[in-house]
Structure 1
Amino acid sequence: MTTAPLGRSAAYTILTTGYVGSTGPGVAATVSYIADGDRHVIFDPGMVPNRDSILAPLAAAGLGPDDITDVVLSHHHPDNTMNVGLFGRARVHDHKVEYRGDQWHNRDAEGYELTPSLRLIRTPGHSTEDITLLAGTETGVVAFAGDLWWHANGPAEDPVAPDRAVLRASRLRVIGVADLVVPGHGAPFRPDGTTPR
């Protein structure tokens, strides 16, 4: 199966750029908004200084919480999920289920398409349940990769990764398809020879 999404019609905005450890005062998630057709997606609505860090840039784009159709959680660590409740009408996607209201639908994230330009893939490494959202845009494939990388510099050795070889395989998979990577706690970066694997 092809990993990259076939479509190239998605667009995205970084709502807030996260930080962790030495790059910031504590920990905050990089929270992203991705749009394609009638789908309005929030990726990793995690810990931030306050809710306005997410809602104000969304409002500047003319959107409110009820406009969001989907929330994608890269994994279930609180620093990446803390504000999922802001988007009560959205379908919430994780590695094996789509949730909405009091219902859920079991499905594997691997290859699951929200649209032809938005595809989920399994990328375990930081945890066993990690997923990445691949967005086909006019300028290439953007990988919303959660904590596969906390920021552009890695960390090279993720201290919470249960299996270093699995993390490396997932990083290589994402690097193989992505023109741009949005990490879990930093600014987007273009993968190159210095990117931790």
Structure 2
Amino acid sequence: MPAAFHVLTTGYAHDRVAGTVTLLTEDDTVAVVDPGMVADRRLILGPLAELGIEPREVTDVVFSHHHPDHTLNAALFPKARFHDHMAVYRDDIWEDRDADGYAISPSITLMTTPGHTPEDISTLATTDQGLVVLTHLWWSAEGPADDPFAPDRDQLRAAREKVLALNPALIVPGHGAPFAPSPTTPI
């Protein structure tokens, strides 16, 4: 059975900043991706409760990168394993591993996609809608074409091309609503 996905809160980046926070579930896996800055923690906890999920039931948390707008609320999930570009963390255990190809569950895997930062990863979820990619390679459907934080524009372009080559049905960007990639998607 494929993974299910729900956007818990849609992010934005204007005068104020909030990250898009997403839930992925498959069998016993309950994963939250990028539990970062939001105007109120209830914007994460409320949608979880509506889905019948308590914070202690979250098994995994994925950080696309280590900016606070994507990590600030990680402590809401006390039983979770935490995933980033280089390791899995739980309590006082630090397990080094390469994120590229790491499977959280049969339908949820990680892929290295340096671009916004050199350590960025994307989460790939095979769902009933098709492949959904959760990534900060785009802030929203509009881009920006030139990420003002990207240290290497060529690296960003290569990672975006890598994601688009997978023909995802949806991209969940770092600060916006999910979108279907199109020929006008910034590369």
TM-score range, shorter chain: over 0.9
Matched, 1:104 2:97: no
State the partner residue of 1:152. 141
> In angstroms, what is the RMSD of aligned CA positions?
0.8
State the partner residue of 1:5. none
State the partner residue of 2:51. 61
Give the drift of 1:58: 0.2
CA deviation string 1:48-76 (max 9, x = no partner): 00110000000000011100000000000
State the partner residue of 1:123. 113
State the partner residue of 1:20. 13
- Counterpart of 2:3, as a letter, is A
Matches of residues 43-192 of structure 1 in structure 2 within 5 Å?
Answer: 43-145=33-135, 147-177=136-166, 178-192=168-182
Task: Tell me, in whole angstroms, the C-alpha distance in 2 between the residues paired with 1:138 and 1:26.
Answer: 33
Give the drift of 1:14: 0.4
Give the drift of 1:175: 1.1
User: TM-score, structure 1 length as denominator?
Assistant: 0.93
- Moved >2 Å (runs of 4+): none
- Counterpart of 1:18, as a letter, is G
User: TM-score, structure 2 length as denominator?
Assistant: 0.98
Aligned length: 186
Higher relative contact order (CA 8 A, sep 6+): 1
SS in 2 for 1:143: strand
- Where structure 1 has 5 or more consecutive residues not aligned to the other structure, the ranges are 1-7
State the partner residue of 1:9. 2
Give the drift of 1:176: 1.4
SS in 2 for 1:195: coil
Task: Tell me, in whole angstroms, the C-alpha distance in 2 between the residues paired with 1:34 and 1:117.
Answer: 10
- Counterpart of 1:14, as a letter, is V
